[in-house]
Amino acid sequence: MCEAATTLEPDQFDSYWRDGFVFPIRVLSEADALRYRRALEDIEAAWSDADLPAPLSHYLRVNAQCVLPLATELAMHAAVLDAVESILGPDLLIWSAEFFVKESRSGHVVSMHQDLTYWGLGETSDQVTAWIALSPSTVRSGCMDFVRGSHRSPILPHNDTFADANMLSRGQEIAVEVSEADKTSIVLEPGQMSLHHGLTIHGSGPNRSRDRRIGFAIRYLSPKAKQKVADRDYAIVARGVDSSGHFIHYAPPGRLFAPRSLALYEQIRSDQAKALTAGAALEVSLYQPSIG
């Protein structure tokens, strides 16, 4: 199957702003999606027992763009950027990127939440999350569920459950009941992508399939976005220019886990912690990196 057109079609653009999400968008061939999956699994095999400052799962789950060239290569893929540009405009920043892996027959879930709740960026429309499937993402394997039109709500109250099976560090969960009838299952084939607004309520269920469910999420910003809680924030310029001065720029990593990249990773995590842990009763990071 060939890759997608360079920009969203008018109906896809309208769907994003009407519903708070759009899918499926073909950005990789199935063969290329498999190639990226194998590259990720090669890293897992080669580095899982390596002498890194933190477990490998930390680097896959939080700010992978700092230390994994694979992450920035995929985040800067032209077809992905073309689709995101349709929403945010020609100037694009990569704020974060992470691999979401649910092992086969695992009970791990992502509770229903809004992304922008804990990022310190406010209730902005200058942020888009792209989620690329590197394996089949189905209802059985624990695909994402979105609540249509929920991006028109403000940031709603969330509860921190700290549930062990939750892939979010606080087990953060929106403090309103979301009925099954209000959920849209985001079924994606390998190489397909969804885009969603940072205020869209979403989550995902357990993986009951025999395969790993592997997704890659990239958080893109327009330079108009601004960190409002932490003292400093960081981004990679993916396309166009950023003359806003809101973010400290850094270059994509040149090789896996280079010392300079590891140091930058720790600096970014430290500086972002003020926003990511604001109001938490316990010491947390944004996600539970120990969960695959």
Q: Tokens 């969804």 sit at which residue?
A: 194
List Cα–Cα distances, 218 to 64, 107, 260, in angstroms. 10, 24, 22
List Cα–Cα distances, 96 to 12, 64, 128, 156, 269, in angstroms. 24, 7, 11, 23, 11
What pLDDT, in 10s, does the model give residues 252-262? Answer: 999 999 999 99
d(C-alpha 39, C-alpha 64), whole Å: 14
**Closest by Cα among 137, 95, 118, 131 to 221:** 95
Region 221-250 average pLDDT:
96
Find out whether 251 and 237 touch, Cβ atoms under 8 Å.
no
In sequence order, the β-bridge partners of residue 33 are none
230 falls in which pLDDT band (50, 70, 90)? very high
Region 94-98 average pLDDT:
97
Residue type, 188: L
173 falls in which pLDDT band (50, 70, 90)? low
Region 1-14 average pLDDT:
74
273 falls in which pLDDT band (50, 70, 90)? confident
Computed over every residue of the chain, the mean pLDDT equals 89
Q: Which residues of 127-158 are buried (b: 16+ CB within 10 A; e: fewer)?
A: bbbbbbbbbbbbebbbbbbbbeebbebeeeeb
- Per-residue pLDDT at 277: 66
What pLDDT, in 10s, does the model give residues 174-190? Answer: 656 778 888 999 999 99
Domains in the chain, please, with CATH? 10-276 (2.60.120.620)
Is the predicted pLDDT of residue 166 greater than 50, yes or no?
A: no
**Closest by Cα among 118, 170, 190, 115 to 146:** 115
What pLDDT, in 10s, does the model give residues 29-49? Answer: 999 999 999 999 999 999 999
Other Cβ atoms within 10 Å of 49 Cβ, number: 9
